[in-house]
Each structure stands twice: as structure tokens, then as C-alpha cells.
């Protein structure tokens, strides 16, 4: 049930991304907000579906429970931090929040790398989806470091003047 729902939402956001590509908050920048929302939705859904496993009362004699908690919760807190800073960036539209988002994304890449390592070691079945989220974080960090749109919208604040002339959404 999760895949069709997210598939429909993804298609809708791709259409909106294409339609709004010349606006300040459009194109890949808009898609970033969809991506972090989808990642949070999936993470919270996974946790609520397996709430007993994450609870303090769960008893396990294996190392896997501690590894599971170390793999999941730091990654979840990092995604929440990325979303919080991204929302503040959207509201304030100040360059300092772009810099803070970069820092949080970098921390997310590091935490996500550790989480993927734990998945490889203890939970090989979930490695693929968590590695995809980690790769997404890496790509978004590169986007916020190199994007002309981000520079023109938040640093120079002249997207209206140059936005229509920039043909790529880099």
C-alpha cells in the first residue's frame, strides 16, 4: 500500500516541479521538500508498524536490538533536523539557513553512513532502502553546495531577474 501512495504523490510532485521550475521555490528545490517529507513519512510509518521492537520493554539477548536502535533513531532525528531547518529556510529565506542546512545535511551524511554500515552488518534486508536514503542525502548536500537556484534565491535574492534565463535547475 505504501508504494502506490508514494508513487502517485511522486508523480504529482514531478509535475509540480516541472510547472514551477522557473519560480524561486520550484524545480529541484521544491522536489527536495517533497523528498524529505516522504523520507519522514516512511520512517515514522516503519517505526509505528514495529513499535514493540523499538520500545524500552523489548527484551532481546542479541546485539541486534542495540544495533537496530543505533541504526534507526539517530537517522530519524537527523531527518527531523533536516526537515526543521528546511522549513525555517523556506519561511525566512536567509542565506544563514542555507549554511545551517548544509551542516545538518553533512551531519546526516555521516550519521546515515554509520546507519548503513550497521544495516550491512546486522540487517542486510534493509540495506538497499536505507542506502538509497543515504545516497539521497549525499545528492541533496551536493545540490545545496552547487545549485545556482539556491544561490540566486537565498544569497543574491535575484531569482526573478535571472530565473527565467537559467535553463537548468542546477
pLDDT tens digits, 105-135: 999 999 999 999 999 998 898 899 889 989 9
Residue 60 belongs to a domain: no
- What sign has the CA pseudo-torsion 3, 136, 69, 114? positive
> Structure pTM?
0.79
Which carries the bigger pLDDT value, residue 52 or residue 85?
85
Residues 19-64 have pLDDT tens digits of 666 677 767 787 898 889 888 988 888 888 877 766 655 565 555 7
Residue 165 belongs to a domain: no
Residue 1 scores a pLDDT above 50: no
**The three cell numbers locating residue 132:** 538509497
Residue 59 belongs to a domain: no
- Give the helix ranges, DSSP H, for the chain: 2-19, 27-49, 51-54, 64-92, 95-122, 127-146, 148-150, 159-162
Residue 167 belongs to a domain: no
Nearest to 93, CA basis, from 149, 131, 161: 149
Rg (the chain; Cα; Å): 18
**Integer angstrom CA distances of residue 58 from 11, 54, 75:** 39, 7, 20
- Structural domain range at position 36: 2-54+65-159
Provide the percentage of residues in the chain whose pLDDT is more than 90.
36
Residue 140 belongs to a domain: yes
Residue 19 belongs to a domain: yes
Say how many domains are in the chain: 1
Amino acid at each position: 500500500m505504501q508504494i502506490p501512495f508514494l508513487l502517485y504523490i511522486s508523480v504529482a510532485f514531478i509535475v509540480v516541479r516541472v510547472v514551477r521550475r522557473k519560480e524561486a521555490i520550484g524545480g529541484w528545490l521544491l522536489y527536495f521538500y517533497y523528498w524529505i517529507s516522504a523520507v519522514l513519512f516512511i520512517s515514522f510509518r516503519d517505526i509505528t508498524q514495529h513499535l514493540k521492537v523499538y520500545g524500552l520493554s523489548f527484551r532481546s539477548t542479541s546485539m541486534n536490538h542495540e544495533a537496530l536502535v543505533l541504526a534507526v533513531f539517530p537517522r530519524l532525528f537527523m531527518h527531523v533536523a533536516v526537515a526543521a531547518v528546511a522549513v525555517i529556510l523556506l519561511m525566512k529565506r536567509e542565506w544563514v539557513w542555507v549554511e545551517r542546512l548544509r551542516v545538518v545535511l553533512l551531519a546526516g551524511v555521516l550519521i546515515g553512513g554509520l546507519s548503513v554500515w550497521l544495516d550491512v552488518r546486522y540487517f542486510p534486508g534493509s540495506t538497499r532502502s536505507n542506502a538509497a536514503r543515504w545516497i539521497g542525502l549525499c545528492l541533496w548536500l551536493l545540490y545545496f553546495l552547487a545549485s545556482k537556484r539556491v544561490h540566486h534565491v537565498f544569497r543574491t535574492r535575484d531569482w526573478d531577474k535571472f530565473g527565467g534565463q537559467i535553463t537548468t535547475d542546477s
